[in-house]
Amino acid sequence: MPNPVHVRIDVNGEPREADVEPRLLLVHFLRENLGLTGTHVGCDSSNCGACTCSVDGEAVKSCTVLAVQADGSQVTTIEGIGSEDDLHPMQTAFWEKHGLQCGYCTPGMIMASNDLLEHNPQPSEHEIREALAGNLCRCTGYHNIVKAVQAAAEHGLRSVSPEVTA
């Protein structure tokens, strides 16, 4: 490996360390080094948002962040916010409102939706649509994604935070 750099990144509440190539993308660090394959790659150009995860409390597109840039950060991925037995309220909302079809954009969409509610707990439909404009879905026409976010907001969902899994 050319010029490895040592990184220490807290992922879903667990410290993870590795020697990585400086050019390694955060999304590949998550997927390939850690096996956290819930974070997807859809476009390579920051347009589709399938790779959205949370870094230090902010939603980022992990296909355009280098792993070395996340050194020392707290990263939360879709795997870190809930499990099938203990769903995060936003996951429940997407399920109940049929906010997904093929499911590929869904982890990024859920992470971006959580980021929205973190900043704006009671968004209007217009605000939801604007906030999710960086996350593309080809299946749902967004109708039920908007419904899911509205439902999560109505039920007082605050945010994704590392404490969920801590």
Partner 1 sequence: MSIAEPPPVQNGHVGRSMKRKEDPRLITGRGAYTDDLVLPGLLHAAIVRSPEAHAKIVSIDTEAAKAIPGVQAVLTAADLGLAAGLPMAWVPPGVTVNTPEHYPLAKDTVKHVGDAVAVVVGDDRYAVVDAAEHVLVEYEPLPVVIDPEKALEEGSALVHEEFGTNKVHEWSLGGGDLEAGFAEADLIVERRVENHRISGAPIEPRAVVADYKSGNLQIWSSTQVPHFLRLFLAIMLGQSEEKIRVIAPDVGGGFGAKLQIYAEEPLMAVCSKVTGRPVKWVETRSEHMQVSHHGRDQVATVRLGVKRDGSITAIHSKIIADLGAYMFLLTPSIPSLGAFVMSGCYKIPAVQTDITGVFTNKCATDAIRGAGRPEATHMIETIMDQAADELGMDRLELRRKNFIPKEDFPATTALGIVYDSGDYHGSLDKLLEHFDYEAFKREQAEALEKGKHLGVGFSTYTEICGLAPSRVTGPSGFGLQTGLWESSMVRVHITGAVTIYTGASPHGQGVESSFAQIAADRFGIEPEQVEVIHGDTQTGPQGLGTYGSRSLSVGGEAMVRAVDKVTSKIKKIVAHQLEAAPEDIELQDGRFAVKGSPDKGMTLAEASGEAYIPENLPEGMEPGLEESAFYDPANFVFPFGAHACIVEVDAETGKVDIVRYVAVDDCGPAINPMIIDGQVHGGIAQAIGQALYERIHYDEQGQLVTGTFVDYALPSAADVPSFETDRTETPSTTTSMGVKGVGEAGTIAASPAILNAVVDALRPLGVTYLQMPLSPMRVWEEIQKAQGGGGASDDPGKQGGTYDAHGQGGGGSGPARPNQGELA
Nearer to partner 1, 72 or 95 (CB): 95
Q: Does 142 participate in binding partner 1 (rule CB under 8 A)?
A: yes
Provide the mask over 84-103, with x wherever binding to partner 1 is found by CB under 8 A and - wherever it is not.
x--x---x--xxx-x-xxxx
Q: Does 107 participate in binding partner 1 (rule CB under 8 A)?
A: yes
Which window, 3-11, 66-74, 137-145, 158-166, contacts partner 1 (CB under 8 A)?
Answer: 137-145
Alpha carbons 65 and 81: distance in angstroms, whole number:
21
Q: Does 132 participate in binding partner 1 (rule CB under 8 A)?
A: yes
Q: Does 3 participate in binding partner 1 (rule CB under 8 A)?
A: no
- Compute the chain's Rg from CA coordinates: 15
Task: State the DSSP code for 105.
Answer: S
Q: Is 14 left (phi over 0), alpha (psi -120 to 50) or beta?
A: beta
Nearer to partner 1, 70 or 110 (CB): 110
- Contacts of residue 96, Cβ cutoff 8 Å, sequence gap at least 6: 148, 151
Nearer to partner 1, 72 or 102 (CB): 102
Alpha carbons 105 and 161: distance in angstroms, whole number:
21
Alpha carbons 37 and 78: distance in angstroms, whole number:
9
Nearest distance, CB of residue 42 and partner 1, angstroms = 4
The footprint of partner 1 on this chain (CB under 8 A) covers a number of residues equal to 60
Q: Does 145 participate in binding partner 1 (rule CB under 8 A)?
A: yes
